[in-house]
């Protein structure tokens, strides 16, 4: 038996999501109230009172917005980071080079920025860190193959939605195709080396010319 009391949804957060979704759909407050089959005055009171006052009313509001009740009260689980906003008294701090390398760890998912036409593009890739460089697997002449000697950027970041803080590390450097069999074997044996999707026989190594980072903290 679980005696832990249920956490009451935050009325302000629910009201914010309703307003954001309403504006996204181009609805006025009165139009949304009509869709949810409630009087505008009651709709406004419900936003102030919160989901605990009339759970069924919030189910109707969610349906009128094309959302589930969970999405309305808790937010989409696949929503992009940063929707919760920063924590109290946010401050931006510069990271040292050792701090940058410590944060990116041994492997993870980052973004490779490629200088293509008609403009730069950015793709997510899963990477490994080896010999003060980033390496990832791709297919030759694919969208994430920058070509030998291309100038690229590589970024890794982390956002803590609950605490409203995070960090970002940015690398500017040069991409090289890995061809030596012993080097390919070495990289393939590192944690995180297996590509998430498909066959990726080509290893690309990004050697940094510069590595910089920033951290946002609160309090």
104 phi, psi to nearest 5 deg: -70, -20
Q: Looking at residue 165, what is its pLDDT?
A: 80
pLDDT one-digit tens code per residue, 18-28: 998 898 889 99
Positive or negative, the CA dihedral 50, 55, 61, 62 is: positive
Q: Looking at residue 2, what is its pLDDT?
A: 47
Domains and CATH numbers, the chain: 11-74 (1.10.260.40), 91-217 (2.30.110.10)
Three-state DSSP class for residue 70: helix
HSE on the CB side for 87, CA within 13 Å?
16
Predicted confidence (pLDDT) at residue 4 exceeds the cutoff of 50: no
What is the token pair recorded at 149? 């000697």
Which residues partner with 160 through β-bridges?
A: 165
- Residues 155, 111 contacting (CB under 8 angstroms): yes
HSE on the CB side for 26, CA within 13 Å?
0
| pLDDT top residue among 10 and 184 | 184
pLDDT one-digit tens code per residue, 186-214: 999 999 998 888 788 999 999 999 999 99
User: Residue 12 and residue 111: Cα distance in Å, rounded?
Assistant: 34
- Residues 70, 58 contacting (CB under 8 angstroms): no
- Which range, 7-16, 43-52, 169-178, is most confident? 169-178
- Residues 136, 203 contacting (CB under 8 angstroms): yes
What is the token pair recorded at 24? 């996204």
pLDDT one-digit tens code per residue, 56-70: 898 999 999 888 888
Which residues partner with 187 through β-bridges?
A: none
Positive or negative, the CA dihedral 45, 51, 55, 57 is: positive
DSSP state for residue 164 in the 8-state scheme: T
Determine the straight-line distance between the first and last CA of the chain, rounded to whole angstroms: 38
| pLDDT top residue among 168 and 9 | 168
Percentage of residues in the chain having pLDDT higher than 70 = 89
- Which range, 5-9, 65-69, 183-187, is most confident? 183-187
* Stated pTM of the model: 0.66
């Amino acid at each position: 038996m679980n005696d832990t009391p249920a956490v009451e949804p935050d009325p302000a957060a629910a009201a914010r999501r309703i307003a954001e979704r309403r504006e996204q759909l181009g609805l006025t407050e009165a139009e949304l109230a009509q869709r949810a089959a409630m009087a505008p005055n009651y709709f406004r009171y419900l936003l102030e009172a919160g989901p605990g006052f009339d759970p069924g009313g919030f189910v109707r509001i969610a349906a009128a917005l094309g959302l589930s009740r969970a999405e309305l009260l808790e937010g989409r689980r696949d929503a992009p980071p940063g929707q919760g906003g920063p924590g109290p008294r946010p401050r931006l701090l510069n990271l040292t080079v050792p701090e940058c390398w410590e944060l990116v760890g041994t492997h993870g998912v980052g973004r490779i920025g490629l200088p293509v036409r008609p403009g730069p593009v950015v793709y997510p890739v899963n990477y490994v860190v080896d010999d003060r460089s980033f390496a990832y697997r791709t297919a030759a002449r694919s969208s994430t193959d920058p070509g030998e000697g291309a100038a690229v950027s590589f970024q890794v970041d982390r956002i803590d939605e609950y605490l409203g803080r995070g960090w970002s590390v940015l690398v500017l450097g040069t991409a090289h195709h890995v061809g030596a069999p012993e080097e390919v074997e070495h990289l393939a044996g590192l944690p995180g080396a297996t590509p998430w999707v498909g066959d990726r026989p080509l290893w690309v190594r990004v050697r940094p010319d510069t590595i910089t980072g920033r951290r946002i903290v609160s309090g």
